[in-house]
Amino acid sequence: MNSCSVMDNLATQATAIRAREIAAVANAVLAGLSDKKKSLPAWLFYDAAGSRLFEAITRLPEYYLTALEHSIFSQYAQEMISAAAGLDNNQLSVLELGAGSASKTLVLLRALISRQGHAIYLPIDVSEAALQSAKKNVHAALPAVDVQPICSEITQEKSLELPQTGRRLALYIGSSIGNFDPEDAVELLQWLNSQLQPGDALLLGTDMVKDAAPLLAAYNDLAGVTAAFNKNILARLNRELGADFALDAFEHRAVWNVAKCRMEMHLESQRQQTVRVEALDRDFEFRRGESIHTENSYKFSSEDVANMLLKSGFVLEQSWYDPDDWFGVHLARVVDSVTMPDADANEEAA
Ligand SMILES: C[S@@+](CC[C@H](N)C(=O)[O-])C[C@H]1O[C@@H](n2cnc3c(N)ncnc32)[C@H](O)[C@@H]1O
């Protein structure tokens, strides 16, 4: 094959992948906006612009989550890595769901490299832009890490098979598990468990229950970055699906739902309006005050975390918190089904 036809083939493959991605966006939008209570799935936030805006959010003074999780890693990374390696002192490879730019992960990878010299790191993310910056960040800081990015959506593509790379430490940090309703969180962690082997470990980062004031501040920052992040979902639909959302006709709303123990983000229509989505050949009607529910962010008690892990086939071994118990990082182990405690019995006893 000559170099021109190789390039043609690559271009055809790239077009096919892009067409599949756009079709996934279109399907998600059709389902979400056709519902009586309109919603859009949170993974739609993360195109290149959304990933940049999320990085800006992590640097906001109000967004305590990233700073606290980073401080927990900085203090306990060695302890976490040796606990994950276990008594047999196994060599670990690391895989990470929703890796983003991997800036906090660097702290853990540094501790891992100082222990075992080199490591494989598999960041998995729906955002190609986030994966590129993860790869660049890790290469620059830790050349001994072999970065093997996987661009994939993790909630729908359960056909995704995670590569076998010896004894593994899975990371799901940044409070991303809080974006799922409790049953969906268990379903996702069950899938992760099914991809791991007994003895493999999971480090899970969760935002803990606290007063409403810091939560409301974190999702309603003064600089308006979270509002821009929320509205980027509409801008993305304009770019990718030929929609005609007027961004100033929707308002960012972040509210604390005390009954469900979650922060919610909405985009509230400021007037009666019709929005055209060209790629779907559909118009969607919005009443004044009607909202599109774009994100949930559940907050956990330590019992919630232990139960969720148990239902998913993991046994919680150890948790680390910041001094105010605002954020938690939990180490859980995959055990074989014979040693697995009964999740229902545990919940009844509690
Ligand atoms: C809240 S950010 C967390 C990023 C990073 N782990 C951190 O702690 O700062 C969520 C990350 O997960 C990715 N993501 C969100 N939904 C996803 C999905 N369904 N499949 C794969 N990646 C997803 C986003 O692109 C984003 O990088």
The per-residue pLDDT for range 306-335, each reduced to its tens digit, is 999 999 999 999 999 999 999 999 999 999
| pLDDT tier at 111, thresholds 50, 70, 90 | very high
What are the strands of the beta sheet with 262-269, ordered from one edge? 250-257, 262-269, 291-298
The vertex-208 CA angle with 259 and 323, nearest 5°, equals: 145
Q: Does position 174 have pLDDT exceeding 90, yes or no?
A: yes
Choose one of 172, 176, 327 to mutate for the ligand 1 pocket test, by most ligand atoms within 8 angstroms of C-beta.
Answer: 176
Atom number of ligand 1 nearest to Cα 154: 20
For the chain, what is the HEC assignment?
Answer: CCHHHHHHHHHHHHHHHHHHHHHHHHHHHHHHHHCCCCECCHHHHCCHHHHHHHHHHHCCCCCHHHHHHHHHHHHHHHHHHHHHHCCCCCCCEEEEECCCCCCCHHHHHHHHHHHHCCEEEEEEECCHHHHHHHHHHHHHHCCCEEECCEECCCCCCCCCCCCCCCCEEEEECCCHHHHCCHHHHHHHHHHHHHHCCCCCEEEEEEEECCCHHHHHHHHCCCCCHHHHHHHHHHHHHHHHHCECCCHHHEEEEEEEECCCCEEEEEEEECCCEEEEEHHHCEEEEECCCCEEEEEEEECECHHHHHHHHHHCCEEEEEEEECCCCCEEEEEEEECCCCCCCCHHHHHHHC
| pLDDT tier at 1, thresholds 50, 70, 90 | low
Choose one of 125, 128, 157 to mutate for the ligand 1 pocket test, by most ligand atoms within 8 angstroms of C-beta.
Answer: 125
The pLDDT of residue 333 is 97
Which residue has the least CA distance to atom 4 on ligand 1?
A: 100
Which residue has the least CA distance to atom 20 on ligand 1?
A: 153
Q: How far apart are CA 95 and CA 202, in angstroms?
A: 9
Q: Does position 12 have pLDDT exceeding 90, yes or no?
A: no
Of 129, 97, 64, 93, which Cα lies nearest the Cα of 263?
64
Contact yes or no for 145/138 (Cβ under 8 A)? yes
Q: Does position 350 have pLDDT exceeding 70, yes or no?
A: no
The per-residue pLDDT for range 199-250, each reduced to its tens digit, is 999 999 999 999 999 999 999 999 999 999 999 999 999 999 999 999 999 9
CA of 125 to the centre of ligand 1 (A): 6
The token pair at 76 is 């306990």
CA of 179 to the centre of ligand 1 (A): 10
Q: Which residues line ligand 1 (CB under 6 A)?
A: 42-43, 46, 51, 54, 58, 66, 98-100, 104, 125-127, 130, 153-155, 173-174, 176
> Hey, where are the domains in the chain?
1-350
Contact yes or no for 167/200 (Cβ under 8 A)? yes
Residue with tokens 């899938």: 191
Instruction: Output phi, psi for 185, to 5 deg.
Output: -65, -45
The pLDDT of residue 168 is 95
Atom number of ligand 1 nearest to Cα 43: 16
Q: Does position 118 have pLDDT exceeding 70, yes or no?
A: yes
Q: Does position 11 have pLDDT exceeding 80, yes or no?
A: no
Which residue has the least CA distance to atom 3 on ligand 1?
A: 174
The vertex-76 CA angle with 95 and 107, nearest 5°, equals: 50
CA of 274 to the centre of ligand 1 (A): 31
**In CATH terms, is domain 1-350 a member of 3.40.50.150?**
yes
The per-residue pLDDT for range 67-99, each reduced to its tens digit, is 999 999 999 999 999 999 998 888 999 999 999
The vertex-175 CA angle with 174 and 179, nearest 5°, equals: 125
The pLDDT of residue 157 is 57
The pLDDT of residue 8 is 73
